Amino acid sequence: MPKRFFKLTDDVYISGRWELGHPLDHEGRKLDDPWQFRIGQRAQSDERIKIPIKISGKPLDYSHAAFSIPVVHARVASLFTEVAPDDVQLIPVEIDSQPAQHFILNATRLVKCIDDAACEEVRYWTLEDGMPEKVGTYSSVSGMRIDTAKAEGAKVFRTWGWTVALIVSEEIKEALERAGLTGAKFTDVTGPGPANGP
């Protein structure tokens, strides 16, 4: 049976939910480099990070702060530590008025596995776009599918060239669902290659 993988996102349609803002340093200034938490490598952050609540509401176990940075309750953090300890870095954060411990969930693996032919549409940055540092990486990916053979052994990772996508294994998905954790949305990205059936 081929392994299945899912894009993990924030379920924005939960009624009455909270919205988290821009990560701040201990003095309340916006972090200079919030992108470091979604590029598929360990972050070098050793400062105390605060995350403000932009819109008050029901706290979620899994949600995104600004820049789609995953923020998880301690329950989610321990689950990731248990199932995929080599694939994640958990960075403690303080959230306004929340006594519970929360963490930024940073995937530390970057896997080149997007199956261009199986996706609905992919586009790459070109020199004509005027962003030379991005040439050769994806400018958009619709209907993402991955080649699961290239993700062998990984349970949590970012996709090379399109690091906005956070991918988790079926094992992670099922563990989160079994625990009844709130806020996570899963989209199947398992590719239709020969090993994966139609």
pLDDT value of residue 1: 54
pLDDT value of residue 195: 41
pLDDT under 70 in the chain at which residues?
1-2, 192-198
**72: β partners:** 62, 103
Can you list the alpha helix ranges (DSSP code H) found in the chain?
74-83, 170-178
Can you list the alpha helix ranges (DSSP code H) found in 28-143?
74-83
pLDDT value of residue 45: 72
Can you list the alpha helix ranges (DSSP code H) found in 35-159?
74-83
Indicate the SS3 state at residue 195: helix
Residue with tokens 């997007």: 114
pLDDT value of residue 3: 86
pTM for the model stands at 0.92
Q: What is the pLDDT of residues 76-90, one digit of tens each?
A: 999 999 999 999 999
pLDDT value of residue 192: 65
Percent of the chain whose predicted confidence (pLDDT) is above 90:
84
